[in-house]
Amino acid sequence: MNQNYLRTNPLKNIFITIARITLIFAICFNSGVNYASNYQSLDFNFKNLTLKEVFKLIKDKADFDFAYTDKNIENIKVGHVNAKDLNISDIMKICLKGSGYKFKIKNNIVLVSKEVPEVKQQERYIVRGTIVDESSIPLEGVAVIYQETKEGKKLGAVTDENGKYIIAVPAKKGVLKFTYLGMTDKFINFTGQTEINIVLKESAENLNAVVISTGMQDIKQERFTGSVQVVKSKDLEDLGIINIDDALDGQVAGLNSTLQSGEVGVRAQITIRGENSLDGNTEPLWILDGLPMTGGVPRASSYGGDFAGTIMEDGVGNIAPEDIASITILKDAAAAAQYGARAANGVIVITTKKGYRSETKFSYSSNFTYNVKPTVDLNFMNSSEKLAYERSILEDYGALVYKNAGRSGRMYEKWANGTISKEEYDAEINRLSGINTNWFDHIFRPSYSQSHNFGIRGGTEKLSYYNSISYSLQEGILLSNKGTNLGVRTNLEFRPNNKMDIGFALSGNFRENKNHAMVGVDPFNYAVFANPYERPYNDDGSYAPDLTYLGNNYTHLTPSDTGLREHDFNILRELSNTKSKNNGQDLNLTLSFRYNLLKGLRFTSMFRYAYGYRIGSRAVHAGTATSRRLEDFGRIAYENKIIPFEFDNGQLNESAGKSQQWSMRNQLEYNRNFGDHFMSVLVASEANSNITNNFSYTSPIYDYVYGNIGVPFFEEQDPELTYDQFRNAIGNTFDNSEGRNRTASFLSTMRYSYKNKYVLSGSARFDGASVIGDNNQFTPLWSIGGRWNVSKEAFWQEAVPFINYFALRGSFGYTGNIDRTAYPFSTISYSPNTFNQERVAENFNFPNRSVRWSKKRSFNLGADLSFFESAITLGANLYRNRTVDILTNLEVQNSFGREQVKFNGGIVRNEGYELNAGVRWVNKKDLSFYTSVNFARNKNFIEKSLRTLNSYQDIVSGDFQGAFNGGQLNIIGEETGSIYGWEFAGVHPKSGYPMIAMSNLGKLEYAKLLDFWDTLTENQQLAAVEHGYVSSTKGIPDAIAVRPDLFNASGFSDASGETLELLRNIKNKSLKYLGRRNPKWIGGFSTTLRYKRWSLRTAWSFKMGHIIRRWDSKKNAPKTTESGGTNLNIKSQDLQVSNVNREKRYLYRWRNTNDITDIPGFAQGAFTDTYSRFHTTADYTSGDYLRMRSLIVSYRLPDDILKKLDVDDIRISITGSNLLTFTKFRGLDVATGGSFRYPTGKRINMRLSLGF
């Protein structure tokens, strides 16, 4: 083993301990067999002596002493002995033969003692072996059952994860049975073999025997009426996954997983079967080992409202992928309705590994990951191009853009003012063009991560156990980002008798995440947009200031609170001198108790308590822009003035939060066969409670060297400043909150099957929540389902024998959802202030009496087939869901007396189908090839929108009399996420204005404009032609130019009002559907090739049929005039973003009459560039992509090597993640929707796993 590795490995101690134990065993064993002997030769000849005399004789002749406790020995007679050249041992053997005594020689002393009659031990025959499937894959959990006779006692063992078993058999006869779900049973007559290796074959018959775990019940698949998909631990192995939810991408039909960010610890957003909410909350319910997942602490409010479920808050991130036995996704009502009111977004059931009856098995796996440093190919300008671009803007717009044209603009201004000479100006421009900084190289790094998991597993009849320790150290590609996680898990199952089963599970998790705490500047945005002529360091190695990224070098966004001036912003200083750290600890205890009351009647009680604690800190050093931006106290004292630099004091924020949650379920389950009839009934009650507390404080001074904190001192304070003015600032430095909620539920499910051919199921559930008013506190939800196992019919087997399995399913039912922040009563919080000795309120909330549970009605039809002895399997599902009373935070007209209202608003209908197929192309012992594919089509229709009307149709039809810029609209009858806009039709060569294609309706309006033509003045006519909105008075063109300030007509233009109206109508009526935001088709496929001990797997995922916002520097760049610019005449978009770097294509913008280009001329003037707010085809691009999520090569070491190493299994695999993406989108990451976030990078992972 590599020494280096040991030194850095936190599991070092464990290894050393194990090594020591091994060593101690070895020493003991050796000393046990290392006996001494004496080869001294003796000659004897005597007759009829007692032993006493013999001993004396020997004593005289040789140097031996005799020791015995039994005096009778002395009287034993020895017959005739004639011994020559014998050693003492032989002589003693002769003497003691038949005497009933034995001897032992040690250090020249002969010990004689009575011989204890040997108890005849029952013979036990140890049988070992390995069980694999037809592809030589070891099978875990195969039951090995021995029976001597048919009525005899059963003995059992289970294979471990390497397919190995060991069983002690009492007789050299009887039968060993090997049985595994989905495989044909195998029987072996036992005749004393020591090793039995078995290859189990898949059986079509037994496919039905697959058991689905809903988290509450284990149900045979042939009796399951719902739509589910199961992902086994085998499918997750080697994927090099970091999070479970990430692993589900492309694996499950109808599950859309979008990783929001590549930051360490951030989770993916999961949508099952389309969006059924209008505000984007699609998070499914997670069930861990039978109870809703708990754990995690929400962030203190001072940390801001991040996307729900990020770094610390979620329990899902606390589960090591190695600990997972299976993940079951419940998709329709029949499957999920037993989870009722929280199941509308689907349910994901996670089962962790358990122990089994076997000798103790150890497993160890480690992952080493290399994360590739991100690069982008956005085609940005280099230094000389950017300077040329800045120059071209200065030429066109002159003094207007001095402050918007980067460093050139500033220099130009100085030159124009006479502060510097032409030579100095040229020299500076020359110097700058010689610098070409690649900011990605300075801000990002390739990073390395590692994780280790060590497991101990085993058990006896009475007790089985699974214990694991996992550790991971992840480095982000951003310099400052790092996370560590240490988790332990213990699953114990105790079976005191065959009726009772007690489970105990304890898991703990300790994690730490570190990052920078920079405020106001996003490092990815900076890396893309910072000018290449800015530098990270000066020649002397000090931080070089960036004078262009932060606009006019103000830290603050509006000049009204000017604050500290910023002349030396440097991103690397920010990254290293601002630090955020989050530590989280979670403890999770689950107790379960199962008792078989009667035959078939079982009582189960489960209880879980989870405790989570989080500590966070944000330390900002003085001298950073963040420190100046966060300064709150100086701003009060120096109202409207530049705050002196001594108030650049740093800041420390510390926060802590804890959560205590418990849930409990008691259930009675009755399962019974009555001849051909099978009946199953379950009744249960469930309760959950959750309390969270958070507090934080912020110190406006933080000295990171000495750790001092405090409040600033004001030497020259304004005499009018009062205590009250500071009170708010002081009050803002403290924060605390508490949240609590409870739910109680009652549920029942029933299942009936006849001959296992026809199945009927039903469930009902009542959920109550603490926050809902009495009127709507409980909601009844129910489901029914049916199944017909067609291939079990006799006629089927005769008619289509090549289809060995065929089942039809159908279900209908309701699930629900609730928002816990809406109270049915009006609330206030009391302020610490008083008025007339009475307390006053500081917060008022309207009541939400009408808030109800939102309900989802689901309808699902499904079929499962397999052909040719299961070489081909097919599954299909068709669904139609309707979610009513969707609760949303609706922004309302302020004339309702409020800005927003919680409201059971919309109705959304989801329709779609899902297909999955698997084909086993080759299936031989040494070679197999398997492919699987899944595919889902999903449509989400709005039946009732946020607003109650369907007159949005007016906008689309162009009848709407108002300004509309296009974008996403919720239109009744149309799909969610539909985007409307105009078709871009090039740039008008004369005016440089962008052009949009006219629809037929738009052309009709154009004709009206022509009718109106003669009433216009000559100047107006001339302007209309020059600006390109009337290209000919003879015919009707296909496209019309959009004059930036005219189409939404803000202000008075040279054309008459009537013309404006007509132009607006042309625009409105030419509106068209551009596409949808949500992918139409999602899916994935995988290929698995195995040759002997090698395997090659690929996993792909794709999303198709949606459009995403084209990545454009104009839309994504920081707007510099907002951050302190003073020249308000420049408000149009392009000029606003010209301080920072831009895409190369803007070098080719329209500048002069008759320029042919597709980049419109830059708008300028008093009014904002309205065109840049329009949504056109030029702004969108297809979001289709196909990504190779992983490419895995793995190798299992051959048995002879394993035997030499004395381990059961060694597997090595190398995984490449996200190596290939095919897409038309040019931008950071097509999978994150092109938004500006920490991208998910490529990574290479090496994994080693051992079993011993």
Q: Judged by CB, which is closer to other proteins: 675, or 832?
A: 832
Contact (CB, 8 A) for 292 and 688: yes
Nearest approach, Cβ of residue 683 and other proteins (Å): 9
Nearest approach, Cβ of residue 436 and other proteins (Å): 32
Binders of other proteins among 463-522, rule CB under 8 A? none
Given 848, 916, 1068, 1078, the residue binding other proteins (CB under 8 A): 848
Q: Judged by CB, which is closer to other proteins: 90, or 899?
A: 899
Given 50, 87, 585, 741, the residue binding other proteins (CB under 8 A): 741
Return d(Cα 935, Cα 859) in angstroms, integer.
Answer: 19
In eight-state DSSP terms, residue 161 is T
Q: Judged by CB, which is closer to other proteins: 1090, or 1131?
A: 1131
Binders of other proteins among 587-616, rule CB under 8 A? 595, 597, 603, 605
Binders of other proteins among 618-647, rule CB under 8 A? 636, 639-641
Given 407, 751, 882, 1064, the residue binding other proteins (CB under 8 A): 1064
Listed residue (218, 293, 343, 328) closest to 594, CA to CA:
218
For 66, 73, 78, 91, the CA distances from 60, given in Å and listed in that order, are 12, 19, 18, 15
Beta strands in 770-853 (DSSP E): 778-788, 803-817, 827-835, 838-845
Q: Judged by CB, which is closer to other proteins: 126, or 828?
A: 828
Nearest approach, Cβ of residue 1172 and other proteins (Å): 14
Nearest approach, Cβ of residue 836 and other proteins (Å): 5
**Angle between the 383-397 and 406-417 helix axes, to the nearest 10 degrees?**
50
Binders of other proteins among 933-972, rule CB under 8 A? 947-949, 951-952, 954-955, 960-965, 969
Nearest approach, Cβ of residue 387 and other proteins (Å): 22
The amino acid at 14 = I
Nearest approach, Cβ of residue 712 and other proteins (Å): 17
Q: Is 685 in the site for other proteins (CB under 8 A)?
A: yes
Nearest approach, Cβ of residue 1122 and other proteins (Å): 12
DSSP string, 422-478: HHHHHHHHHHHHT----HHHHHB--EEEEEEEEEEEEE-SSEEEEEEEEEEEEE-SB
**Token pair in block for residue 413:** 């201004």
Q: Judged by CB, which is closer to other proteins: 830, or 1091?
A: 830
Binders of other proteins among 772-791, rule CB under 8 A? 777
Q: Judged by CB, which is closer to other proteins: 467, or 1168?
A: 1168
Listed residue (1237, 1242, 1243, 1100) closest to 260, CA to CA:
1237
Return d(Cα 127, Cα 1082) in angstroms, integer.
Answer: 49
Given 97, 172, 742, 924, the residue binding other proteins (CB under 8 A): 742
- Non-local (6+) Cβ contacts of 711 within 8 A are 633, 699, 700, 701, 730
Q: Judged by CB, which is closer to other proteins: 867, or 1073?
A: 1073
Q: Judged by CB, which is closer to other proteins: 41, or 728?
A: 728
Q: Judged by CB, which is closer to other proteins: 20, or 641?
A: 641
**Token pair in block for residue 764:** 């009902």
Q: Given the rule CB under 8 A, which of 847-855, 876-884, 922-930, 991-999 is the region that contacts other proteins?
A: 847-855
Return d(Cα 926, Cα 917) in angstroms, integer.
Answer: 24
Return d(Cα 211, Cα 158) in angstroms, integer.
Answer: 17
- Non-local (6+) Cβ contacts of 799 within 8 A are none
Binders of other proteins among 282-341, rule CB under 8 A? none
H/E element, 1113: helix 1113-1116
Given 173, 431, 839, 1203, the residue binding other proteins (CB under 8 A): 839
Given 108, 197, 775, 833, the residue binding other proteins (CB under 8 A): 833
| Binding track over 388-427 against other proteins, x by CB under 8 A | ----------xxx-x-------------------------
Q: Judged by CB, which is closer to other proteins: 603, or 802?
A: 603
Q: Is 10 in the site for other proteins (CB under 8 A)?
A: no
Q: Is 559 in the site for other proteins (CB under 8 A)?
A: yes
Q: Judged by CB, which is closer to other proteins: 470, or 1048?
A: 1048
Would you tell me how many other CB atoms lie within 10 Å of the CB of residue 737? Answer: 14
Q: Judged by CB, which is closer to other proteins: 956, or 998?
A: 956
**Token pair in block for residue 358:** 């076997």
| Binding track over 1165-1204 against other proteins, x by CB under 8 A | -xx-------------------------------------
* Alpha carbon of residue 805 to chain centroid: 35
Size of the site for other proteins (CB under 8 A): 108
Binders of other proteins among 716-735, rule CB under 8 A? 718, 720, 722, 724-725, 727-728, 731
Binders of other proteins among 885-924, rule CB under 8 A? 890-899, 901, 903-905
Binders of other proteins among 1137-1166, rule CB under 8 A? 1166
Phi first, then psi, for residue 919 (nearest 5°) are -130, 130
Q: Given the rule CB under 8 A, which of 610-618, 650-658, 845-853, 1153-1161 is the region that contacts other proteins?
A: 845-853
Name residue, tokens 């009492």: 170
The amino acid at 210 = V
Long-range contacts, stretch 255-258, CB < 8 angstroms, 24+ apart: 255/229, 255/329, 255/346, 256/938, 256/1079, 256/1082, 256/1103, 258/1231, 258/1232, 258/1233
Binders of other proteins among 1026-1055, rule CB under 8 A? 1048-1051
Q: Judged by CB, which is closer to other proteins: 424, or 561?
A: 561
Nearest approach, Cβ of residue 829 and other proteins (Å): 5
Q: Within 13 Å, how many C-alpha atoms sit on residue 1051's CB side?
A: 12
In eight-state DSSP terms, residue 1115 is H
The amino acid at 425 = Y
Q: Given the rule CB under 8 A, which of 130-138, 275-283, 828-836, 1208-1216 is the region that contacts other proteins?
A: 828-836
The amino acid at 207 = L
Contact (CB, 8 A) for 564 and 555: yes
Return d(Cα 904, Cα 892) in angstroms, integer.
Answer: 13
Nearest approach, Cβ of residue 827 and other proteins (Å): 5
Contact (CB, 8 A) for 797 and 863: no
Nearest approach, Cβ of residue 283 and other proteins (Å): 22
Listed residue (1146, 1225, 1222, 1223) closest to 1181, CA to CA:
1225
Q: Given the rule CB under 8 A, which of 285-293, 521-529, 811-819, 836-844 is the region that contacts other proteins?
A: 836-844
Q: Judged by CB, which is closer to other proteins: 79, or 1051?
A: 1051
Nearest approach, Cβ of residue 666 and other proteins (Å): 6
Nearest approach, Cβ of residue 1023 and other proteins (Å): 16
| Binding track over 649-678 against other proteins, x by CB under 8 A | ---------------x-x-x----------
Q: Judged by CB, which is closer to other proteins: 115, or 959?
A: 959
- Non-local (6+) Cβ contacts of 497 within 8 A are none
Nearest approach, Cβ of residue 499 and other proteins (Å): 8
**Angle between the 1057-1069 and 1000-1012 helix axes, to the nearest 10 degrees?**
170
Binders of other proteins among 1100-1129, rule CB under 8 A? 1126-1129
Binders of other proteins among 743-772, rule CB under 8 A? 743-744, 746, 768-771
| Bridge partners (DSSP) listed for residue 468 | 455, 489
